[in-house]
Each structure stands twice: as C-alpha cells, then as structure tokens.
Amino acid sequence: MAALVGCLVILAPLVARAAPYAAYVIDARTGQVLYSKNANTPLHPASLTKMLTLYITFDAIRRGEISLDSYVTVTRHAANQPPSKLGLQPGQKIKLRYLIRAAAVKSANDAAAAIGDAIGGSEAGFAKRMNDTAKMLGMTRSTFKNANGLTRTGHLSTAHDMAILGRHLFYDFPQYYNIFSRRSTDAGVRRVYSTNRKFLNAYKGADGIKTGYTYASGFNLVASAKRGQKRIIGVIFGGTSTAQRNAKMAHLLDIGFSRAPAYAKVQKPVAPDLDMVAQKDAPGAPVRVAVGKTIRLATAVHTSPRPRLRPDGATPTQPPSSKLLVAMKDDISSALNAVEDSQPAADPVKVAEDAPAADPAVPAEDPGDGLARSPVPAPRPGSAAPVQVAAAEPAAQAETRTAAADTAGADTVAPATSPAPTPAPAQATVVAMADTAPASDEDSIDAIEPTAASGDGGPQDDSAASSGIVFASAAPATTPTPEARPEIVTRMSTSGGRDWGINVGRFPSRYQAEKALLRTALTESSALSDSLRKVVRRKNGFDANFMGMTQDQADLACARLQARDIQCFSLSPS
C-alpha cells in the first residue's frame, strides 16, 4: 500500500495542469452571439496571437509599407525562438510571402518573430503596434507582448476578442483568407504542413483559422466553417488535448449552425483606419506616411482628362488631311462592325446582389492563398473591358509573343496609379469597347499590391498595351493590303500555359450548369472575362467549368469567387 502511495506521489507532478476553459461562438455574418462561456476572461492565447500578427502584415502590404516580395533579414532574436519553427538562421534573407505561409500554416515561431522585427523594428515596437491595432479592432481585453504568442507575463486575450479578430480577418482581407485552409504550403526553405489539418479534414465546411498551444494556455483553436448560407466562427481556450479540443469545437459549431438563422443580411464589421497606428508605431519615428494612401489623396481625380488631338504633319495644330480622315473612317467602321458581329446576344439572366450563393463543396485541391504571383489587375469601376484590335502577324511570331507574355515578370511593385501613355504621332486610334460589369473599387482581391500597368501575361509591354488599348495604324485608303486588315481578338489563346480552369459546381442538367456558368460570369466578370465556359457531362451530373486560364488566373478567379461565398476549385492540366 505504501509503495502504491509512493508511486502516486511520484506520478502526480507529471499530470498536466488543466488550463482555464473558455468558449465563444458567433454568426460570422452578423456578429450575433450564439454561445458563450467565460468569453471575457483574459487567458493565454498562445499561437492564436499570430492571427493579429498576420492581420497587421496584410494591412502593411495594403498601404505599401512592405510587399510580399520584400526580402526580410532574419534577426538573431527571431532565429533563436523555440519550436515550432521553420529553422531560420541569423542573417538569412527570405521573402515575406514565405514567412506569412510558415506563420499561418505551420505556426512557426521564428517566422512570426521575423515578421514582427521587420515591420515593427523590434519585438517591443511590434508589440506596441499590436496593442494599438487590437484597440482599433475592439479587442478591449487583450494585451500582447510578442508576435508569436509564446507565454509572457501579461500577454493575454479572451475568447470574445479572438472571435472579433477572426471575423475581421475574414471580411477585411478576403484575398488572403484562404491561406488558413491550406493543409500544406511551400515556405521557401521547405514544405510545411498545417497544425490544423485534422480538424479541417474532419469537420464539413471548415476552412480555418488557427490553432494554439502552450503549457499555460492548453489547446486553443479559432475555427470557421460554412454550410449553405451560414458561416459560424467558434473559439476555444484551454482544451486538454488536440482530439478533445477538436471534438469540443465540432460540438460548438454544430450548436452555432443549429441556432443561426438560415438567411441573414451580412453586416460586415467596420474595417478600422490604421494609418495613424502605422505612423505612430513606425520603427525609428519620425512618422512614416503610407505610400499608397498618400498617392490616392494627392492625385485623386473625378474625370479622365481629354486626350490631345494627334498631329498630322509637322504643324502640331494642323487638322488631319481629308485622305487620312477617309481612311480612318473606313478602318473604324470595319473594326466596330466586326466587334459588333462578334459580340454574343445579351442574356436576360440577372444576378441579384442578395441572391443565395451555391453551397460550397470541399475543394479537390488546396485553394489559392492570395500569396501567389500577382495577377492581372481588375478594371476600375465605370471602365469597360477593351477588345484588342491588332494587325495580323505571322503565327510563329504571335505564339512567341504570347509565351513571353505568359512568363512576364509577376509580383511587380508599382504605384496604385500610372500616368496616361503619350500617344504616338501620325497614327489613328481604333478602339472597340465591350461592356462589362463594374469591378470592386478596391484592389483585386488576389492582388498582393498594386501591380505595374503591364500586368502579368499581358500581350505587350509598351505603354499602349499597359493602358489596355491597342492602336492599329490607319493606312491610306488608296493602298490597302489584306495583311493590314484588323483582326478582332475576342478570346485569349489557350496556348502558352493556359490549360488551367476552375469548377463552380456539378448540376443535374446541362441547362442548370450553363445557367450557373452565366450567373458566375456576370458576378465576377473581371476575373473570368478571358475564360471559356464549358459544360462537361459526368456519370452523376454536369460539371460547370471555366477553361483557358493560366494557373495564376485560376487561383485568382477562385479566390474572388470564394470571397463571394461561391463554391470553386482549380482544375489542373490532366
């Protein structure tokens, strides 16, 4: 008996102390509280802290402080962080995009610390920015001391505050949100695997967000899941194991789905204006002004300036000759007629803004995380998608130029606005515009930052192509040649890597699949304007696919559709 008591005395210290428990469940669409227990008790958040680190990083990218292609020099402080870690070395240079992936997916402490040192200048500097940002978000009971969440006296948060942060991540930065659903990703130095993949694989509709564990915190989790029109966010502090925490979260989300109304008007949280926070907490103050915001405020215009008349001859003010006017009229008329003939008839199908979206299925492949190469920027509101009018050229030359365009430099950092190109003299412009649905006034949701006017995969790099207009020379009417007749390019070639696509659902009939394709194309016209709608018959239905895209375009389109709660996954070349 005494021996048994002695064994119990020896084993007692090895039993893990149960951390305080808290839980909170909300309807992500409205913020309505569906379940709460100890939700306002300050507890150790552990790696849930990285959610705020990433939120600040996304905001810094948006305002031009840093870009995804910025090389971050790893400090000794960051490299010396304990596991989980990526294995960074002091002095190593690594792109910010890889640090984001490692922090979000693997929960790497060294990656998160490197981000904090790069943006905040030091751990203390970044912690000050974290606390100021948390206050702006309404996280009133949280205090942060570091970027990765390792236990520190006074480093505390609540289940309520973490639910607020998760909701802001989803609505304020939808272009990056898919990173939290990745089961694995390339982190530059090696491939890393998600700490949350067991829950993502086990719970239907789960697509994020972040795990956390330390001895002081227990097993924490902020999870988000969508079923039908409902999206629920749940938070757990103090789980006793990964399996117990995941089972408890599944139960809480089930409660949330059962209590949330089937339909509810989305009430997005108000995104805070963090410019003053960034200026106040910029490393080495004096104040550093956000580049993107300053440009927009200083150069905002309400109307496009009228272009100057093109000169005809040596005298700048001399009007065009009668022969040139005749030639211009003939070429413009033929080009516009060809465009009109090539346009499809208007479809009566309209998409209401509040129409229910299709219930998303679990994608067959990992969705894009917004951290890939910068895609072609979407057109600005009120503008029209240009239909390119190009002179005929040898097939080999066109193919070479297309391939070169597909591999053009991506992830280019450039100001949000670019000056209008100066028109070349002694040429007549032939421009045909096709109506398109207006895009969002914000940057493309999958764009990391404002891209250069040349974009990614554009046909040319000159200034005319940058503006979305292709100029065709108007030869005199007396010397026309068949080769000089304009050719209307209405669809992008599927060569040069355009063998990717996306799937937006499987339907019981071809009619329903075609209708879904048309509705989706109208909803997201900017990302799908160059794709081909294709219905593929399967044994159990009809697949609605958009084809003829590059991998980047497919990832961009899927990210934009998923941000609109429309089911989508990429189709890679077979």
CATH number at residue 541: 3.30.70.1070
Question: Does this model's pTM top 0.85?
Answer: no
Q: Flag whether pLDDT at 498 surpasses 60.
A: yes
* 285 three-state secondary structure: coil
514 located within any domain: yes
pLDDT digits (tens, 9 = 90+) for 316-355: 445 555 555 555 555 555 555 554 554 444 443 333 333 3
Last residue of one domain, picked from the residues 258, 280, 302: 280
On the CB side of 199, CA atoms within 13 Å amount to: 31
Q: How far apart are CA 524 and CA 561, in angstroms?
A: 7
Report the 10 Å Cβ neighbour count for 20: 14
pLDDT digits (tens, 9 = 90+) for 156-205: 999 999 999 999 999 999 999 999 999 999 999 999 999 999 999 999 99
Q: How far apart are CA 372 and CA 186, in angstroms?
A: 11
- CATH classification at residue 184: 3.40.710.10
Assign 494 a pLDDT band (cuts: 50, 70, 90): very low
Give catalytic status of residue 47 as yes or no. Answer: yes
451 located within any domain: no
pLDDT reported for residue 11: 42
pLDDT reported for residue 148: 97
pLDDT reported for residue 351: 30
pLDDT reported for residue 44: 97
Q: Flag whether pLDDT at 1 surpasses 90.
A: no
* 275 three-state secondary structure: helix
Say which range, 231-235, 433-437, 467-471, 567-571, has the weakest mean pLDDT.
433-437
Q: Is the dihedral of CA 561, 562, 567, 571 positive or negative?
A: positive
Q: Flag whether pLDDT at 15 surpasses 60.
A: no
Phi, psi of 217 (to 5 degrees): -90, -30
Among 67, 85, 106, 107, which one carries the catalytic annotation? 107
483 located within any domain: no
Nearest to 192 by CA among 85, 34, 51: 85
Nearest to 151 by CA among 60, 95, 198, 82: 82
Q: What token pair was written down for 128?
A: 């000050």
Of 490 and 187, the one with more pLDDT: 187
Last residue of one domain, picked from the residues 261, 280, 299: 280
Q: Flag whether pLDDT at 456 surpasses 60.
A: no
Give catalytic status of residue 122 as yes or no. Answer: no
404 located within any domain: no
191 located within any domain: yes
pLDDT reported for residue 334: 57
Say which range, 234-248, 347-361, 460-474, has the weakest mean pLDDT.
347-361
Q: What token pair was written down for 243?
A: 């399996």
Residue found under tokens 């764009």: 447
pLDDT reported for residue 210: 97
For the chain, the domain total comes to 2
Structural domain harbouring 231: 17-280
Say which range, 71-75, 99-103, 493-497, 552-556, has the weakest mean pLDDT.
493-497
Over range 299-312, report the average pLDDT: 47
Over range 151-159, report the average pLDDT: 96
pLDDT reported for residue 237: 98
140 located within any domain: yes
168 located within any domain: yes
Last residue of one domain, picked from the residues 247, 280, 313: 280
Q: What token pair was written down for 216?
A: 């002081």
pLDDT reported for residue 207: 96
Assign 416 a pLDDT band (cuts: 50, 70, 90): very low
Give catalytic status of residue 466 as yes or no. Answer: no
Q: What percent of the chain has pLDDT over 70?
A: 59
450 located within any domain: no
